[in-house]
Amino acid sequence: MTLGYVELCARRLVGFALVLLVLSLMTFVLARVVPGDPARMALGPSATPEQVAALQVEMGFDKPLPEQYLLYLGNAVKGDFGKSLVTGRPVTEEIMSFLPATLELVIVTICIIICVAIPLGVITARYRNSWIDSLGRVFSLTGVTMPSFLFAILLQMLAATYFPQWPILGRVDHTLGFQASITGFMTLDALLCLRFDVFFSAVQHLVFPAIALSMSGIGQITRITRSAMIEHQRRDHTLTLRSFGVPQRVITFRYLLKLSSIAPITILGLEFAALIGNAFVVEMVFSWGGFASYGLEAILQKDLNAVMAVVMVAGIFFIVANLVIDIILALLDPRLRFKEAK
């Protein structure tokens, strides 16, 4: 059984390495088909042709494409994505400074999704076809159909109208003069520095962006949990327990819950890509100043080195999240472990 775990993880890692490789190739191709000259872009219109040529050599653009790719790959493995064409600073450094803000937002969002959606799915399935179910359905449908940016804007409007004191932009109250410099997570750093006023402010700032970002996930996951519950409720194994008088609440909250959380957690992994995409929108509306804002800026400015790095990092994000989810799934579902071990 332990071998099952090791094998499961090892297989996934190999698969993920492959994904990253292809991803790097795709971003590379994407960056190289761009019309226009990155070197000229970096130097601005006033640069002389000699300066441009010199930078081209420095960036390795004079070499044949396959060699350029290998160079890019080699550097990327070392964590070096070159220099930003706009600011001239190393891209990795810039991303690392923006990443924690987004990570903090995304982690909180996922926690909200799991804590709201799975119980909601269970309850709506349990009280199927009642008003609770209808209400839950409207709620999850709204989550799925309403665009994230609209949610974000509506929340801002709501806050501005009813809670004028509540902050709706940024990560923390700047007048507190605090820099998240340990982990980069505002809440965590505030706690580590025992600055509870900062912590409180950071949490306040987090609430609306996290809600806006979680709505679509909540909608999806609630629906999937509900239908999984209903499906398993119909199965023989539920009938077995019912036949022997095991109370419905035990069947629902012990037996069905564990079995029915497998499907939504699997989907959560796939939803991750969409979540990162929505983070772009939500960060913009709330001026969050995270990785996504940085990425959006890089894309709009055609800062190719930064764009490539942003896509790669988003891919790694997705892969790590799915690795974690695979491990959780293997813990939940013994069948996955046997399959590997047989």
Partner 1 sequence: MLLDVKDLNLSFRTYGQTRHILKGVNLQIPEGGRVALIGETGSGKSVTSKAILGTLPDTARITSGQILFDSEDILQKKAEAREKMKGTAFSIIMQDPLSSFNPVFRIGQHLEDVLRYADIRLGEVTNHEDRIRRIDEVLQMVQLGDPERVRKAYPAQLSGGMRQRVLIALALLHQPRLLIADEPGTALDVTIQDEILNLINRLVDENGLSLLMITHNLGVVRQTADDVYVMRFGEIVEHGPIGSIFRAPKQAYTQQLVEAIPALYGERVKEQPQVEVLEGEKPVIEVEDVSKIFESRRFLRGKSEFKAVQNVSFDVFRGEVFGLAGESGSGKTTMARMIMGIMEASTGSITIDGHTRGLWNKDKDLRKKIQIIYQNPGTSLNPKRTVRQTLSVPLKALGYDAQKIDARIRELLNYVELPEHYMSAYAHELSGGQKQRVAIARAIAAEPEIIILDEPTSALDVSVQASVIKLLQRLRDELGLTYLFISHDLSLMRNFCSRIAIMRKGQLVEQGTVRDVFENPKHDYTRTLISAIPVMTEEEEQQKPEVSAEVRAQFLV
Partner 2 sequence: MSAVSSSSAALQPAAPKVLSARYMAWYRFSRNPAAVIGAFIVTSVILIAVFAPLIAPYAEHVGSVVNFRARHLPPDLEYLAGTDKVGRDILSRTIFGFRISLLLVIGVLGVSVPIGTILGLVSGYAGGMTERVITGLTNIMLALPPLVMALAIGNVLEPNLTNAMISVTLLWWTWHARLVYRVTRTVASEDYIEAARLSGASHMHILFREILPNCVAVISVKTTLDAAYVILFGASLSFLGLGVKPPTPDLGSMVADGRQYLPDMWWGVLTPGFAIFYATLGFNLLGDGLRDMFDVEA
- Residues at the contact surface with partner 2, assessed by CB under 8 A: 15, 18-19, 22-23, 26, 30-31, 33-34, 137, 141, 144-150, 153-154, 156-157, 160-161, 270, 273-274, 276-278, 280-281, 284-285, 295-296, 299-300, 302, 307, 310-311, 314-315, 318-319, 322
Give 274's strand partners: none
36: left (phi over 0), alpha (psi -120 to 50) or beta: left
Residue 333 interaction partner, one of partner 2, partner 1, none, beta carbon < 5-8 Å per kind:
partner 1
Please report how close the Cβ of residue 34 comes to partner 2 at its closest, in angstroms. Answer: 5
Residue 239, binding choice from partner 1, partner 2, none, Cβ under 5 to 8 Å by partner class:
partner 1
CA distances from 213 to 25, 128, 206 (A): 30, 27, 11
CA atoms within 13 A on the CB side of 226: 24
Judged by CB under 8 A, the number of residues near partner 1 is 29
Q: Which residue has the tokens 């070197």?
A: 39
Binders of partner 1 among residues 258 to 277 (CB under 8 A) are 258-259, 262
Tell which one of 34, 77, 237, 287 touches partner 1 (CB under 8 A): 237
Does residue 225 contact residue 117 with C-beta atoms inside 8 Å?
yes
Residue 254 binds which one of partner 1, partner 2, none, with CB within 5 to 8 A depending on kind? partner 1
Between 10 and 192, name the residue whose CB sits nearer to partner 2. Answer: 10
CB 269 within 8 A of CB 321: yes
63 binds partner 1 (CB under 8 A): no
Binding status of residue 107 toward partner 1 by CB under 8 A: no
Q: What does the block give as tokens for 102?
A: 């987004």
Residue 80 parent element (H or E): none
Comparing CA positions, the residue from 35, 17, 34 lying closest to residue 73 is: 17
230 belongs to the binding site for partner 1 (CB under 8 A): no
164 scored as a contact of partner 1 (CB under 8 A): no
Q: Which residue has the tokens 């490789």?
A: 21
CB 152 within 8 A of CB 282: yes
Rule CB under 8 A: which residues touch partner 1? 3, 6-7, 10-11, 235-247, 250, 254-255, 258-259, 262, 332-335, 338
